[in-house]
Amino acid sequence: MCWFVPLGAAMMGSSTAAVTAAGLQGTAAAIGGMASLSALSTGMSFIGQRQQARAMQQSQDIAASQEAARFRREQTALRRQEAQQEQAAAEESLAIQLRANQAASTAQVAAGEAGVSGTSVNELVNSYFQQEGDYRRSLALERGFQREATGAALVESGFRTQMETTRIRRPINKPSLIEGVVGVAEGLYGGAVRGYQFDQARRGIS
């Protein structure tokens, strides 16, 4: 009957080894599963942050482009208005000169037909040209005010665009690739630790 003892010991040893192997496999599976889930979650979060950053960057690019186009249109409109004012002032100045010349010529002809000459005629003619000079100076002064207003509007337009562009180009939190890799590695490690703890707790309960 002695041969039953070694046989029983051998069977117990095989059973213990099988249980130990199964336990190790379970632990490895738990650790691997937790680590994979944690790494996957971290990786998906990183990808989501990158996509969100790209979307925000594209939105900023579009808004900045639209603001630049609006600025160019505004500047063009102000420059066009300035050119129109210059042309109108030049035409008005020429018209004043023509009216003064015509008035002076008419006065001279009328005085000649009436047999009037001398100082009185010259004073009358000079008064027309004096009025012309006064009107042209007033027109030049008004045109100077218009130029100043246009210049101020151009500067103000530039400031507004600069402020709006600064608002549009607010900093975007862009996750780096290194941060993503570190995050996945931390996720793997943290998941492995939680998997080990979970397996240990399960063993304690069982």
Question: What contacts 57, CB < 8 A, 6 or more positions away?
Answer: 172
pLDDT for 78: 93
- Which residues 6+ apart lie within 8 Å of 100 measured at CB? 128, 129, 131, 132
Q: Which two tokens stand for residue 145?
A: 């005010």
DSSP state of 115: T
Contact 138, 93 (CB under 8 A): no
Is 100 inside a domain boundary? Answer: no
Task: Decide if 4 is inside a domain.
Answer: no
Residue 79 to residue 151: CA distance in whole angstroms: 9
CB 55 within 8 A of CB 172: no
Q: Supply the range of the domain harboring residue 35.
A: 20-88+141-205
The answer as to whether 29 is a domain residue is: yes
- Please give the pLDDT value at position 47: 74
Cα–Cα distance for residue pair 86/82, rounded to 1 Å: 6
Whether the CB-CB separation of 78 and 154 falls below 8 Å is answered with yes
Average pLDDT per 10 consecutive residues for the chain, totaling 206 residues:
44 43 47 53 69 86 92 94 91 87 82 74 80 87 91 92 90 66 56 56 59
Supply the pLDDT for residue 14. Answer: 47
Amino acid at 53: A
C-alpha–C-alpha distance, residues 148 and 201, integer Å: 82
How far is residue 193's CA from residue 30's CA, in Å, rounded to a whole number?
A: 10
Domain presence at residue 119: no
Domain tally for the chain?
1
Quick check: is 129 in a domain? no
Per-residue model confidence as pLDDT tens digits over 90-116: 888 888 888 888 888 887 888 777 776
